[in-house]
Amino acid sequence: MLKPDMLRRRDWLMVAGSTAAASITPYVWAAGAVLPAPESLADELAKALRAGQPLVVMVSLEGCPFCRIARDNYLDPARRQDGIPIFQIDMRSPVPVRDFNRAAATQDQLIRDWKVKVAPTVLFFGPGGKEVAERMVGGYIEDFYAAYLEQRLKTSRAAIKA
């Protein structure tokens, strides 16, 4: 048999648990940022180079929590605030894209051609579709991700100017 003080404690726990779940749910289930998928890497690279920027491509995997952190906290803000041309292609995606030679491919095929095995991987492309900075592979330590990204962008920009 339930005593009155037990009932209150149980009711309190149910309310507290419901409140905690409600406050966490928007974070866990929020859609997050979305980076555009390129239709043509050659066209996007040409635009990026005219602006003195590398073409930045994030290789992602649906449901990857590290991809989400990189995209939401670093890549999408850099794209929106600094105008850096950043695109996303997805592992296992059959969505068509034109490569740097304007040949038709799927996103998944490009990723295999680039020998990317880990999501997230961020690549920095310059003239001729060549990589101009070291790849960022995996989920770097969150406190340093911005510094690593900025260093790669700096290296890429210097390579483009050379």
The CATH number given to whatever domain includes residue 61 is 3.40.30.10
Per-residue pLDDT, 9: 45
Number of domains the chain is built from: 2
The Cα 109–Cα 97 span in angstroms is 10
Per-residue pLDDT, 76: 96
104-106/86-90 β-pairing: unpaired
Same-domain pairing of 18 and 57: no
In tens, the pLDDT along 74-132 reads 999 999 999 999 999 999 999 999 999 999 999 999 999 999 999 999 999 999 999 99
Same-domain pairing of 24 and 65: no
What is the pLDDT confidence band of residue 17, given thresholds at 50, 70 and 90? very low
Output the pTM of the full model: 0.79
Range of the domain at 18: 1-30
